[in-house]
Amino acid sequence: MNEDPKVNVSGLPREFVDAGASGNISAEVSSQVPVLQPEPDLVVNPWDIVLCTSGTLISCENAIVVLIIFHNPSLRAPMFLLIGSLALADLLAGIGLIVNFVFAYLLQSEATKLVTIGLIVASFSASVCSLLAITVDRYLSLYYALTYHSERTVTFTYVMLFMLWGTSICLGLLPVLGWNCLRDESTCSVVRPLTKNNAAILSVSFLFTFALMLQLYIQICKIVMRHAHQIALQHHFLATSHYVTTRKGVSTLAIILGTFAACWMPFTLYSLIADYTYPSIYTYATLLPATYNSIINPVIYAFRNQEIQKALCLVCCGCVPPGLSQRARSPSDV
């Protein structure tokens, strides 16, 4: 009797008032309970987009070179076989970068990781080895100028192609055959699933290849300078003309070797000193310039070649420009 009766001032039946009160309470409680947010959509790494774009450009550019050499029967000399090998290796490297992007975001599995990294390792290894083979071929064409165009040279070229592609395929198969870090992350290198030891072998092999190319290009420079001097004496050229021709040849070789080193050296040295604990941005920042080497290779080795220029003009416009057909090869064209 002492309790004060609660007054219903709303004019509604009490059951409606109680229902409304319980509704307000449930609303307050529900506002305090955390709501599960939907999982965010798959975020694409901008670096992966850049690598995929680079792979697309590499594939398109080198596919042109491969098709020109394949469909032109006159381009069967050892030099063009090696240029075709380089273009094919870079083409596979570009395809590997594209496939890596697709598999990383659409079809993630251990098998696809191993196949993708195997393709990328094999193709880039074949690209570097093809550059070394081209350097050897250029040295032989100058040092053995009289006997270069012989059956022995063709046989030697096929042997080089067999060895470089065999070695590159073996390097690409190592991760697939079990030499990977999928079971032990502590052994991973900067490029997963390559092991630290695998990356070290690839890096040391590149440094050894670069040292060989450097030595060969030094010898090529000496031969070019000697040939240019002899031609100048035979044709009574001025000393200035001899200097310009020699400087052009040396500059061309410096650009070729400097571009190769600038593209590959950062990633090579970084792979030797770093491992999987380092930030991935450093891996992307050093790997991207290495892919640019496959973009530059067709410009340096294929599109500068006079015979390939003629074949490309025939395909594009059905004719050969007069200035191109009459252009003479000079000692600086190495």
246 vs 217 pLDDT, higher one: 217
Residue 190: predicted pLDDT: 92
Per the structure block, which two tokens stand in for 188?
């991973």
Q: Is the predicted pLDDT of residue 226 greater than 50, yes or no?
A: yes
Per the structure block, which two tokens stand in for 206?
């590149």
Q: Tens digit of pLDDT for each residue in 15-26? A: 444 444 444 444
Q: Let me know if residue 334 belongs to a domain.
A: no
Mean pLDDT of 183-210: 92
Q: Let me know if residue 193 belongs to a domain.
A: yes
Q: DSSP for 266-279?
A: HHHHHHHH--TTS-
pLDDT band at 261 (very low <50, low <70, confident <90, very high): very high
pLDDT band at 244 (very low <50, low <70, confident <90, very high): low
Structural domain for 292, as ranges: 46-317
Q: Let me know if residue 185 belongs to a domain.
A: yes
Number of domains in the chain: 1
Q: Is the predicted pLDDT of residue 98 greater than 70, yes or no?
A: yes
Q: Tens digit of pLDDT for each residue in 130-162? A: 999 999 998 988 888 777 777 788 899 999 999
Q: Let me know if residue 177 belongs to a domain.
A: yes
Q: Let me know if residue 80 belongs to a domain.
A: yes
Q: Is the predicted pLDDT of residue 295 greater than 90, yes or no?
A: yes
Q: Is the predicted pLDDT of residue 41 greater than 80, yes or no?
A: no
pLDDT band at 12 (very low <50, low <70, confident <90, very high): very low
**Is this prediction's pTM over 0.85?**
no
**What is d(CA 229, CA 160) in angstroms, rounded to the nearest whole number?**
32
Q: Let me know if residue 2 belongs to a domain.
A: no
232 vs 169 pLDDT, higher one: 169
**What is d(CA 83, CA 247) in angstroms, rounded to the nearest whole number?**
25
**Local structure of residue 186 (DSSP, 8 states):** G
**What is d(CA 171, CA 200) in angstroms, rounded to the nearest whole number?**
12
**What is d(CA 108, CA 271) in angstroms, rounded to the nearest whole number?**
25
Strand locations in the chain (E): none
Q: Let me know if residue 325 belongs to a domain.
A: no
Residue 324: predicted pLDDT: 62
Residue 255: predicted pLDDT: 85
Residue 43: predicted pLDDT: 81
Amino acid at residue number 79: M
Mean pLDDT of 289-302: 93
User: Residue 57 to residues 69, 82, 96, 169: CA-CA distances in angstroms?
Assistant: 19, 21, 12, 23
The listed range with the strongest mean pLDDT (55-64, 227-236, 248-257) is: 55-64
CA 280, 199, 124, 183 torsion: positive or negative?
negative
Q: Tens digit of pLDDT for each residue in 176-196? A: 998 999 888 889 999 988 999
Task: Find the range with the poorest average confidence among 34-38, 92-96, 113-117, 167-171.
Answer: 34-38
Main-chain phi, psi angles of 188, to 5 degrees: -70, 150
Residue 27: predicted pLDDT: 43
The mean of the pLDDT values for the chain is 81
Q: Let me know if residue 229 belongs to a domain.
A: yes
**Percent of residues, the chain, with pLDDT higher than 90:** 49
- Residue 203 sits in a domain whose CATH number is 1.20.1070.10
pLDDT band at 38 (very low <50, low <70, confident <90, very high): very low
